[in-house]
A and B are shown apart, each in its own frame.
Chain A
Amino acid sequence: MDSEKDTQKELEQLAPNLARLRKQQPEDGFSVHPSYFRELEQSVLSEVHRQPATKRRFERSGLLSWLLVGPRPAMALATLALVLAALWYLSAPAPESNLFAGSSEVDAEELRAYVHENLDDFSPGFILEVAEQDMAFEMDLSLDDLSEEEVDLLLDEYLEELDQETLEDIL
């Protein structure tokens, strides 16, 4: 951070009226109610301690847990699952390339959460390409110019922007 003196001196050279105003009234005029920051802290802490919605949805019930963890039931279940999968594969029509195509039960928020949780499964370049097409803009830099963290931030931002149709296309 520069010293107050540096900023004020720079301003005096550039804009004397503004410099005078800054010296007389350095505040910006914004305010909040007195307990706001205490409430903000509580609100943020309670939000971060809530388990993400996507994880909650896939939590196992006690019974399911027993079925999956117990050795003999697990073997039986695995065999049954294999038989059912084989039957389904033989009788099903050609598989859809789009995992979520035609599903009206999955909304954009859930799709976004899914992509976000499984970001490593998607190529950043691909998501950015889709985002650019969707939002009709061109990014003026290459992903190679960005750090891993910057790519993460960019992807997060783009994922927020994409509509349901585009998200379904990604999947």
Chain B
Amino acid sequence: MSVPIRKPSPQTVQEPVHTEDEQIIAWIKDPGTVDRGFRALLAKYQERLYWHVRRLVIEHEDTNDVVQECLVKVYRKIGSFRKDSGLYTWLYRIATNEALSFLRKQKRKATRSIDDEELLLAEKLKADAYFDGDAAQLHLQRAVAQLPDKQRAVFNLRYFEEMSYQDMSEVLSTSTGALKASYHHAVKKIEKSMVATEPN
């Protein structure tokens, strides 16, 4: 049986040698090397974008749909990419918007209340064949699932990806001050939830 791939932690990750963003952009802008550039972009970023979307959308199948849609959109829009924003933050912005848009659509379709929907999101983790976290990780993900969608994005980007507030500000089009406040608030809520469920 083959072993599923787990996301490596930021602390242990050994970055493979990837092409520099500037080179990727140069290849993509040249009609003769656009495919080479896009392949390099996928090699460098598709996994990172997948894990980012997965933490927001939770289920693998939904994540797969959102990420494919996002990467196709990236290919179609890459011509309009401007160098004054980083490729990395531009990609994360598209992925985050796609994921948040997917979640909004799901909520509109559902007849349940938003509170029920967030609880359901937490319950999906249990049923997901590709969630193999232990009790502590499950508890953390359930607490994160209770946060509003955009606050979840803020929490995940900081906690799991160690993204700076400045980069997050470009991704989420929000001021760094508001992002700090949102992250601190999210962290406090999760800490409270952890303390409340600790065994006496």
Contacts and interface: CB of A to CB of B under 8 A. Distances in A.
Interface of A: 1-4, 6-7, 11, 14-18, 21-22, 24-34, 36-37, 40-41, 43-45, 47-48, 148-150, 152-153, 156-157, 160-161
B133 A27 contact: yes
B127 interface: no
A30 B101 contact: no
Contacts of A25: 134, 136-137
A31 B134 contact: no
22 contacts: A1-B161, A1-B164, A2-B162, A14-B184, A14-B191, A15-B190, A17-B194, A18-B190, A26-B12, A27-B6, A27-B9, A29-B6, A30-B54, A33-B4, A45-B38, A45-B39, A48-B76, A149-B80, A150-B173, A152-B80, A153-B97, A160-B101
A29 B141 contact: yes
Given A14-B184, A15-B188, A34-B4, A44 B162 contact: no
B2 interface: yes
Nearest to B10: A4
B27 interface: no
A15 B97 CA distance: 29
A32 B60 contact: yes
A69 to B, nearest CB: 25
Contact of A29 (B50, B133, B161, B162): B133
A160 B105 CA distance: 10
Contacts of B191: 14-18
Nearest to B6: A31
Nearest to A148: B80
Say what secondary structure dominates the interface of chain A: helix
A3 B162 contact: yes
Nearest to A47: B72
Nearest to B189: A15
Nearest to B77: A152
B11 interface: yes
A22 B132 CA distance: 17
Contacts of A150: 173
Contact of B159 (A7, A37, A45, A153): A7
Interface string B153-176: 000001111111001000001000
A43 to B, nearest CB: 6
B42 interface: yes
Interface in B95-116: 97, 101, 105
Contacts of A43: 68
Given A28-B7, A31-B132, A156-B73, 15 more contacts: A6-B162, A16-B191, A17-B195, A18-B187, A25-B134, A25-B137, A27-B6, A28-B51, A31-B6, A31-B131, A32-B5, A33-B5, A40-B50, A40-B64, A48-B71
B130 A44 contact: no
Given A148-B80, A152-B77, A18 B194 contact: yes
Contact of A27 (B43, B137, B188): B137
Given A3-B162, A36-B5, A149 B187 contact: no
B164 A47 contact: no
A14 B140 CA distance: 16
Contacts of A40: 46, 50, 64, 67-68
B115 to A, nearest CB: 20
A33 B39 contact: no
B138 A29 contact: yes
B164 A2 contact: yes
